[in-house]
Structure 1
Amino acid sequence: MLRNFLKTALRNLWKHKLFSFINIFGLASGMLVCLLAMIDIKGAFEYDSFHPHPDRTYRILTDVTARNNDEQGFATSPMPLAQALKQDYPFVEEATRVIRNNGDFTANRKQLPVIYSAVDPGFFKIFGFRLAKGQATIAPQTVVLTQKTAKRFFGTANPIGKTMEHPELGALTITGVFAEPVAKSHLNFDALVSMATFSSPNWKRSSTDWKTYSRGYTYVLLKANTPVETLDGVLPKLAGRVTKDVRFTTEKGYTFRSQSLAALSPSREELMYSTYEPTAGKLETELGVGLLTLLLAAFNYINLTLARSLSRAREVGIRKVAGALRWQLMGQFMAESAVLSLLGLGLAYGMLQLVKPMPFVQQWLIGGVQWEGDTRMWLIFITFSVATGLLAGLLPARVLSGFQPAQVLRSQTGLRVFRGITLRKSLIVAQFSISLFAMIALLALARQQHFMGTADYGFQRKDVFVVPLNGFPAGHLSAEINRLAGVERVAATSTLFGDHGGGWQVVRRQQAKSDSAQAHVLAADANLVPVTGLKLLAGKNLPTSVADSSSRFVLINEEAVRSFRLGEAGAAVGQTLWLNDSTEVRIAGVLKDFQFTTMAMKISPLVLRYQPQQFRYLNVKVAGGNHEAIHDDIARIWKRLNPYEPFAGVWYDDFLSNRNNISDDVSFMALLIGLAVAIACLGLLGMVTYTTELRTKEVGVRKVMGARVDQVVWLLSWDFLKLLLIAGAIALPLGYLAASFFLMTFAYHVSIGVGTLGLCFGTMLILGALTIGWRTYRTALANPATSLRTE
């Protein structure tokens, strides 16, 4: 019997190809979001699954009690804790500290940012990060790299034995390279540095300081067969003992508790200084969005199926007259629904293959998760798909199988499936409101992105070519480029304008007074002002010199004049400032304010200082002309002077455009919005189809009485167009408010005007009108003789 159900279902679906495709696409759209969520959930539970003893490994958390008795959990703990646990408690087999940090490392004539962690030797005993080559970082001044980091610095060359430079840590010898982990980890790093490298007096003090609990993380490995209750029993006592003589300033105190490595991901609580494990809230939100999308798709399937019920009513009547029982008819209709759902799963898998390479999907959802070869995942997918089909098909099956043969075989014109459609209309309004709201948000994001890439930052960006030095000395390369025809000037800087800025320092007007303010202190030479077209309001440019003595003079912007209360721009020239309480500099000139960071940040105090050791970029001002020839000439010079490193020069315009380009995220959002709009249009199509089927006789009578096609179309469409107008009335103000609040997070942003709202609303109206018009126009063209024949 099941075989007959499936055979009949396939024949019926093939007979109504368009209807079947619409339903399959709607279910596939909802399933796509659900599949992404399920794969991400699978990956979340696989975090840190490759470590040797996850059931015996624990992270020590710190629960801090504030003066007002509020409690807050910290993922971090005091630095002496690991040593105390290992020495004083015999059930602890191993303990390690992990300190996260980041900074610029220099190696192989490249200077690149690196996320690194300092670890004890016990790290390599507790965790299962395997080494592809070399040995662990245990001795002082040693470092181990990930494969990605090793490739960034050294390409395919063997990095073992080579050195890396860090401004604070000094020269570090590379002792090993990690293998690629088989799963994700909450510990995310590019390199690991031996904890023995730290030997400064400040470090020695912090390593015995029980008062500071936010510096690093503590992990312990318990001995085999040791229950966690043993550890949990000693942690509060240990906290009480070590804090007995500690005088806190803003806290009452703290206590410790353990967190199993096996239960660390997904995170079920909000911890301060948390690591990189996904949160349960994130996964619940993803699954909720997926189920909501699938629910809307299933509801639309019900609408479309019941809309076609009038055409299948006679089939039900004949089957019942022939002796079919109701449960057999229900089985037939639910088999069709299950087959549709499985076909939807197949289409959803194909759609998943299309979106899988998207950077957003790889970074935030399914990147690194092994799922395609997992039999359990496919069993879950298929079970989920069949269950979705059966649940979606249950209501149509009950309604269709309940038709009475006497009624449907006599006449179908009076047959009504729904007694009221207020709920269905409300859902259509909700679907289009959500779609329009999302469209407004997406367009606001895209416009802000375009604005940040093309806005006037207050400096010259046209005809300026940027060459990243990657650790290569600036002087020789600058001299070679200066000789090229078409090159006007070459300026060296530590960062690029329009980026994050960086170089935050505490700057004081007077060394001994508390008149400090934070400022961006960037390195630049005297050519920067003419190259970037900056305007000097007072004073003069930095002195042209290659001597470090030039670093005694600085340029500041108007915001720095205001922050340090230096009066007018002219009055600020000649005054002195103190950098980091130790370096006195003199103001040579004041620059007109310009946006040297991203548009998300307000203009802040800026200090430009000659520091050649920090130069990381060359800014080449060229005469208007053949940009391609200049690019090729500079590339040839680079290849001659630095043959083993790729050339990464870019025009400033392109840098700012790419810097603010989030088209990958926008593309994924556009995909989700497209699916939401498609589902909404399918729901509208179902309701229009059902209503026009009910009014077929009325249309026939009106046409016999002389009604034109356009009059019939308007008659049938107006009720549905009103739903779109109601959706617009709801979504437009909400979308405007949400987009405005989002844009307010940027210091400089576009405005949401009538044009943006009108474009989104017009798009929704066009899509809705096409959906309505296609079905009503077909009904209006029908031959009246056909619709009136049964009367």
Structure 2
Amino acid sequence: MIKSYFKIALRGFRRHKLFTLINVVGLSIGISAALVIYLIVHFDFTFDKFHKDSDRIYRVTTNYSFAGEVGYNNGVTMALPGAVKTEATGVDIVAPFYIYGQQDVIIPDGPVANHKLKKQEGIVFADEQYFNLIHYDWLAGSAKTSLKRPNQVVLTSAQAKIYFPKLEYSEMIGKQVIYDDSLKTTVSGVVAPITENTDFLFHDFISYITGTSDHYIKDQFDMTQWGNTNSASQLFIKLSDKASSAQVEKQLNVMLKAHNPPKPEDKGNSSGFHLQALNEIHFDQQYGGMDGVRTANKTTLYGLLVIAAFLLVLGCINFINLTTAQASQRAKEIGIRKTMGSKRSQLIIQFLSETFLITLFAVIISIALAPVILKLFADFVPQGISANVFKQPGLIIFLIVLTIGVSILSGFYPALVLSGYKPVSVLKNQASNNNSKTRNAWLRKSLTVTQFVIAQFFIMATILVSKQIYYALHKDLGFKKDAIVNISTPYKSINTNKQQVFMNKLIAIPQIELISVGGAAPSSNNTNSTTVTYTDGKKEIKTDLQQKFADENYLKVYKIKLLAGRNLMQADTSGNIVINNTYAKVLGFRTPDKALGKLLDYNGKKREIVGVTVDFYQKSLHSPIKPLAILMPVHNKWNNRTFHIAFKPQTAGGNEWKTGISSMEKIWKEIYPDDDFEYAFYDESIAKFYNAEQHTSTLLTWATGLSILISCLGLLGLAIYTTGQRTKEIGVRKVLGATVTQIVTLLSTELMWLIGLAFVLVTPLAYYAMQKWMENFADRTTISWWIFALSGVGMLLLALVTLSFQTVKAAVANPVSSLRSE
């Protein structure tokens, strides 16, 4: 019986090749999108789900409220872990670790003597409790003893093979590894790396006690300091079975007040600890994930699911529309089968079998396309995603469920319609009554409107996102961003004269116009702020003030305009500062010049305002402009290691900048031979602020294109069916004198009205969605009327072009051919 169903289905496919092709293409597009999006969403939602008792594991984070500004830090004060171990209840495991950051590593007994590996990441200081919290399989050494003593290090097997490629794991025990040229450690254990999806990507575990005993890094491990918070200092805890996170969080905050009681001058400011569940870390945008590890955005993932659902629905709508439209062509087949004794249930199974076969073909095509699509979007698809069906049992289950679900969604209603014909009416050429004709027509119209609502929504969203990105990249940010290169010198060279030598040699390069040395660029992700007080004689104004460290050339390099006063000078190192106009207004000055000469209480030191600049953005357009001070950097300090280099204008088609960079690299290698030469054009750094939006724009563009393709395929199918049904009518009209234009208009009008109705329905919905998305930007473009007009007109033109392929063909056909049988 089943074999018979499939044989009849294949025979029908051969008879209606074009409609079958349209259905397969429409469904395969939707299923391909669903498959790739499933891989992405499933990948991100499985992070760190495999840990034992993962629902009881939390990261302790720190919240601030300071001078009206709210801040979030994923680290804790170094003193907290010890206090939790001795004072907190309801905690089974306390696992602090300190992220060491990017370090050079020397292997004295490596493949080459004193083999050096530059800029290694994934290095942490941890104790044995870390391995009680996060499970690893031990290949050499022991979790109980490998991190007990100072200067011990545990390696993952992958990293151990990089350091000691020719040794067995047991032979690596006792070998030396040197970090940052001075921290000497001995290998005490080797573990297998975690193979599941995880944010715990560390591979070098130095014993935590090393941080408190080694003189080189001891100053970073102040276990008595409660007032400072460092994002490198991480604390994970595992709660007892019956303990609640709210109870433990309350204990930690009581502990903070006891050890670091608030001072009178801190009135209005506060800090506290928050317990963040392990399963939230991978998606956290507020505190951030692990150091250097990508975080996912749940809103984006849910948006991807919506796109997949829309594309699947479009494919299913096409199938329902075309199948019900062809119903009358299969009426006699149904009548004969019923007369021969077929039951309605058997016919329903027959039609569902046909739908299942088409869906199966579409799924097979989608499986073949998935690796290609993943490569196409490789720039923003997370690494580690694989489309290999045979290695992912969950993916096989998903495809089976998807195939059955799409088959039922697409095929059930058409099966009910087709199997419901009465054999007596069918064999009298009365395939259906007027009520069923009207009902089916209304269904097709409703589904067509739904298709074009979805397609036009994507068009409108794509145009708006592109408009906002263009606005962000071309807006006057208050500073120059073109023809400027940023270079940061190594930290270890700060207390040497190398920076001055580097500066002197750069000045001699003919392509360079001007150089400034200081801290971060005007707009960057680096944030430095402090609390500053101004007293006007009547009241005290306390403000959280952003800081930029810059020399006298900084404003000139970035062409930041002064509204009042003067620029910084070398003599200003002792106290004078320049502020932005926003801060001048916060202090109550109506005009910038009124702020000149005023004194600020700057961390207990008096500083005089000598200049006021225009406002410029300190971060992306997501964030508002904040009160800012520009002050001279301190010589040989961390805030005096970034070179801001302005190039002279480049001639048309010239390569002066390339030549200048080559000269800079040559000088760098002379002065810093052990460090890689890295530079960044500043306008490219600004563009990176909007990577997420650019990825969103790319995805929307593809979704728009695919939705238009599916909708137009469905429209073409309906046009083919409609013109086929009205062949004789067209012939009669042509004989009576109708022109080609009149016939094309007649055949297109109804469908064009449906597209117009879709535009009316989607416009308010799209406007609301756009407004919500734009709330993510402190400075944003306008939602212009032409976005909607362009979408509507564009969709009408596309639909008209699609319809014209069939309507013009029907209109120019010889009427004799269609009327010959009459």
| TM-score band, normalised by shorter chain | 0.7 to 0.9
Task: Tell me what 2:550 maps to.
Answer: 524
Task: Tell me what 1:210 maps to.
Answer: none
Residues 102 and 123 in structure 2, CA contact (< 8 A), matched pair in contact too: no
Residues 240 and 255 in structure 1, CA contact (< 8 A), matched pair in contact too: no
Task: Tell me what 1:70 maps to.
Answer: none
Please tell me whether residue 650 in structure 1 is matched to residue 680 in structure 2: yes
Shift in alpha-carbon separation, 1:187–1:448, aligned structure 2, 3 A: same
Following superposition of structure 1 onto structure 2, how do residues 673-712 of structure 1 map, counting pairs within 5 Å?
Answer: 673-712=704-743
Residues 522 and 548 in structure 2, CA contact (< 8 A), matched pair in contact too: no
Shift in alpha-carbon separation, 1:179–1:56, aligned structure 2, 3 A: closer
More deviation in 190-199 or 420-429?
190-199
Task: Tell me what 2:750 maps to.
Answer: 719
Aligned counterpart for 2:585 among listed residues 562, 577, 586: 562
Secondary structure of the residue that 2:56 maps to in structure 1? strand
Shift in alpha-carbon separation, 1:295–1:85, aligned structure 2, 3 A: farther
Aligned counterpart for 2:195 among listed residues 153, 174, 182: 182
Residues 281 and 288 in structure 2, CA contact (< 8 A), matched pair in contact too: no
Please tell me whether residue 395 in structure 1 is matched to residue 413 in structure 2: yes
Residues 501 and 596 in structure 1, CA contact (< 8 A), matched pair in contact too: no
Task: Tell me what 1:155 maps to.
Answer: none
CA distance in 1, matches of 2:367, 2:566: 64
Q: CA deviation at 1:182?
A: 1.3
Aligned counterpart for 2:702 among listed residues 667, 671, 676: 671
Tell me which amino acid in the other structure corresponds to 2:792: F
CA distance in 2, matches of 1:42, 1:5: 36
Q: CA deviation at 1:462?
A: 3.2
Task: Tell me what 1:641 maps to.
Answer: 671
Secondary structure of the residue that 1:128 maps to in structure 2? coil
Residues 453 and 659 in structure 1, CA contact (< 8 A), matched pair in contact too: no
Which structure 1 segments of 5+ residues have no match?
A: 63-74, 152-157, 166-170, 208-213, 223-227
Tell me which amino acid in the other structure corresponds to 1:559: T
Shift in alpha-carbon separation, 1:112–1:133, aligned structure 2, 3 A: farther
Please tell me whether residue 619 in structure 1 is matched to residue 644 in structure 2: yes
CA distance in 2, matches of 1:566, 1:500: 29
Tell me which amino acid in the other structure corresponds to 2:744: V
Aligned counterpart for 2:599 among listed residues 566, 570, 576: 576
Task: Tell me what 2:67 maps to.
Answer: none
**Could you state the TM-score of these two structures normalised by the residue count of structure 1?**
0.77
Shift in alpha-carbon separation, 1:631–1:27, aligned structure 2, 3 A: same
Q: CA deviation at 1:463?
A: 3.0
Residues 44 and 265 in structure 1, CA contact (< 8 A), matched pair in contact too: no
Task: Tell me what 1:168 maps to.
Answer: none
Secondary structure of the residue that 2:34 maps to in structure 1? helix
Secondary structure of the residue that 1:303 maps to in structure 2? helix
Task: Tell me what 2:623 maps to.
Answer: 601
Shift in alpha-carbon separation, 1:673–1:85, aligned structure 2, 3 A: farther
Q: CA deviation at 1:706?
A: 1.7
Secondary structure of the residue that 1:515 maps to in structure 2? strand
Task: Tell me what 1:768 maps to.
Answer: 799
Residues 537 and 590 in structure 1, CA contact (< 8 A), matched pair in contact too: yes
Shift in alpha-carbon separation, 1:668–1:558, aligned structure 2, 3 A: same
More deviation in 752-761 or 171-180?
171-180
**Could you state the TM-score of these two structures normalised by the residue count of structure 2?**
0.74
Shift in alpha-carbon separation, 1:530–1:215, aligned structure 2, 3 A: closer
CA distance in 2, matches of 1:237, 1:465: 49
Task: Tell me what 1:456 maps to.
Answer: 476
Tell me which amino acid in the other structure corresponds to 2:578: L
Tell me which amino acid in the other structure corresponds to 1:655: S
Please tell me whether residue 124 in structure 1 is matched to residue 122 in structure 2: no
* CA deviation map 1:307-350 (0-9, x unaligned): 23334445545666777666665444333211110111122223
CA RMSD, Structure 1 to Structure 2 (Å): 5.2
Residues 559 and 603 in structure 1, CA contact (< 8 A), matched pair in contact too: yes
CA distance in 2, matches of 1:676, 1:507: 55
* CA deviation map 1:200-234 (0-9, x unaligned): 99954769xxxxxx9954215x8xxxxx5xx4599
Residues 249 and 275 in structure 2, CA contact (< 8 A), matched pair in contact too: no
Tell me which amino acid in the other structure corresponds to 1:564: L
Aligned counterpart for 2:569 among listed residues 537, 543, 560: 543
Identity %: 25
Following superposition of structure 1 onto structure 2, how do residues 176-325 of structure 1 map, counting pairs within 5 Å?
Answer: 180-185=193-198, 197=211, 204=224, 216-219=235-238, 228=241, 231=242, 290-291=308-309, 293-316=311-334
Residues 47 and 282 in structure 2, CA contact (< 8 A), matched pair in contact too: no
Residues 300 and 683 in structure 1, CA contact (< 8 A), matched pair in contact too: yes
More deviation in 584-593 or 367-376?
367-376
CA distance in 2, matches of 1:147, 1:586: 57
Secondary structure of the residue that 2:238 maps to in structure 1? strand
Secondary structure of the residue that 1:555 maps to in structure 2? strand
Residues 199 and 282 in structure 2, CA contact (< 8 A), matched pair in contact too: no
Tell me which amino acid in the other structure corresponds to 1:428: T
* CA deviation map 1:518-568 (0-9, x unaligned): 2221222222122222223343332247xxx82533322222222334675
Residues 321 and 447 in structure 2, CA contact (< 8 A), matched pair in contact too: no
Task: Tell me what 1:508 maps to.
Answer: 533
Q: CA deviation at 1:484?
A: 0.9
Q: CA deviation at 1:144?
A: 8.1
CA distance in 2, matches of 1:783, 1:482: 81
Q: CA deviation at 1:595?
A: 3.0
Task: Tell me what 1:630 maps to.
Answer: 660
The alignment of Structure 1 onto Structure 2 pairs a total of residues equal to 737
Q: CA deviation at 1:503?
A: 0.9
Secondary structure of the residue that 1:356 maps to in structure 2? helix
Please tell me whether residue 346 in structure 1 is matched to residue 371 in structure 2: no
Aligned counterpart for 1:333 among listed residues 334, 342, 351: 351
Task: Tell me what 2:85 maps to.
Answer: 83
CA distance in 1, matches of 2:354, 2:287: 52
Secondary structure of the residue that 2:391 maps to in structure 1? coil
Secondary structure of the residue that 2:578 maps to in structure 1? strand
* CA deviation map 1:733-788 (0-9, x unaligned): 44344434533542332223243333222222222223333333343344444544
Residues 484 and 647 in structure 2, CA contact (< 8 A), matched pair in contact too: yes
Shift in alpha-carbon separation, 1:265–1:596, aligned structure 2, 3 A: closer
Tell me which amino acid in the other structure corresponds to 1:520: Q
CA distance in 2, matches of 1:540, 1:60: 51
Q: CA deviation at 1:440?
A: 1.8
Secondary structure of the residue that 1:419 maps to in structure 2? helix
Please tell me whether residue 446 in structure 1 is matched to residue 466 in structure 2: yes
CA distance in 2, matches of 1:689, 1:462: 55
Residues 60 and 258 in structure 1, CA contact (< 8 A), matched pair in contact too: yes
Shift in alpha-carbon separation, 1:118–1:695, aligned structure 2, 3 A: farther
